[in-house]
C-alpha cells in the first residue's frame, strides 16, 4: 500500500493488483486447461479420467475466479465532500463505494494469520476491507494510524 496524496483536503491510499495472485490464477487456469484437454483424448474414457476431467475444470474455475476478482484498490478520504471513497479496479470493471465520514466508526488493521489489510468499520454494516487480496506487509498499522489521524483532524470541531 502506498500513500499517493496527503494534503489537508485529500488523503489517498492505493494498493496495486497483486502480481503473485495473477500468476497463481494463470497457473491454475493453465493446469486446468491441460488436464481437461488430456482427458478429452480418445484413450482417456474410464471413470478415473472423468474425475481428472472434473478436476481440470475445477482448476479452470479457480483460475478464472482469481483473475476476475483480484483487484487494485484505492481509498480516497475527501474533506470537501466529507466522504471516503473506496475504488476497486478489476478485469470486469470498476466498483466504487462512498461512505460519509459520519457513518465511519473506525479505521483499523484487519489481521488474518500473517496477512494484514486496512479495514473500515461502518455503522450498521459489516467491516469493509481495503484490499481484496491481503498482504504480509506490516506497514499497514502506521498507515491506518495516519488515516485515523487525518480523519480526526477533519472531524474535530
Looking at the structure, do residues 43 and 105 belong to the same domain, yes or no?
no
> Per residue in 73-87, pLDDT tens?
889 999 999 999 999
Domain holding 145: CATH number?
Answer: 2.30.29.30
Looking at the structure, do residues 106 and 121 belong to the same domain, yes or no?
yes
> Per residue in 44-93, pLDDT tens?
666 667 777 777 788 888 887 777 776 678 899 999 999 999 998 877 77
Looking at the structure, do residues 86 and 133 belong to the same domain, yes or no?
yes
Looking at the structure, do residues 84 and 150 belong to the same domain, yes or no?
yes
Long-range pairs, 23-30, Cβ under 8 A, ≥24: 24/66, 25/62, 25/63, 25/64, 25/65, 25/66, 25/67, 25/70, 26/63, 26/67, 27/63, 28/59, 28/60, 28/62, 28/63, 28/66, 29/59, 29/60, 29/63, 29/64, 29/67, 30/63
Looking at the structure, do residues 102 and 136 belong to the same domain, yes or no?
yes
Looking at the structure, do residues 12 and 31 belong to the same domain, yes or no?
no
Strand partners, 98: 85
Looking at the structure, do residues 63 and 99 belong to the same domain, yes or no?
no
Q: 133: domain range?
A: 2-17+72-155
* Total domains, the chain: 2
Say if pTM beats, i.e. exceeds, 0.75.
no
Looking at the structure, do residues 27 and 78 belong to the same domain, yes or no?
no
> Per residue in 26-42, pLDDT tens?
888 888 888 777 776 66
Burial 53-74 (b: 16+ CB within 10 A, else e): beebeebbebbeebbeebbbbb
Amino acid at each position: 500500500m502506498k500513500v499517493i496524496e496527503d494534503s489537508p483536503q485529500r488523503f489517498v491510499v492505493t494498493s496495486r493488483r497483486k502480481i503473485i495472485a495473477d500468476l497463481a490464477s494463470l497457473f491454475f487456469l493453465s493446469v486446468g486447461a491441460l488436464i481437461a484437454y488430456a482427458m478429452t483424448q480418445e484413450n482417456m474414457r474410464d471413470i478415473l479420467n472423468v474425475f481428472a476431467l472434473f478436476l481440470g475444470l475445477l482448476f479452470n474455475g479457480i483460475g478464472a475466479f482469481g483473475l476476475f476478482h483480484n483487484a487494485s484498490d484505492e481509498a480516497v478520504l475527501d474533506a470537501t465532500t466529507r466522504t471516503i471513497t473506496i475504488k476497486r479496479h478489476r478485469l470486469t470493471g470498476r466498483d466504487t463505494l462512498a461512505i460519509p465520514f459520519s457513518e465511519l466508526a473506525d479505521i483499523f488493521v484487519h489481521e488474518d494469520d500473517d496477512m494484514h489489510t486496512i479495514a473500515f468499520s461502518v455503522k450498521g454494516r459489516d467491516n469493509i476491507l481495503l484490499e481484496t487480496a491481503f498482504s504480509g506487509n506490516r506497514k499497514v498499522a502506521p498507515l491506518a494510524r495516519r488515516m485515523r489521524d487525518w480523519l480526526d483532524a477533519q472531524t474535530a470541531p
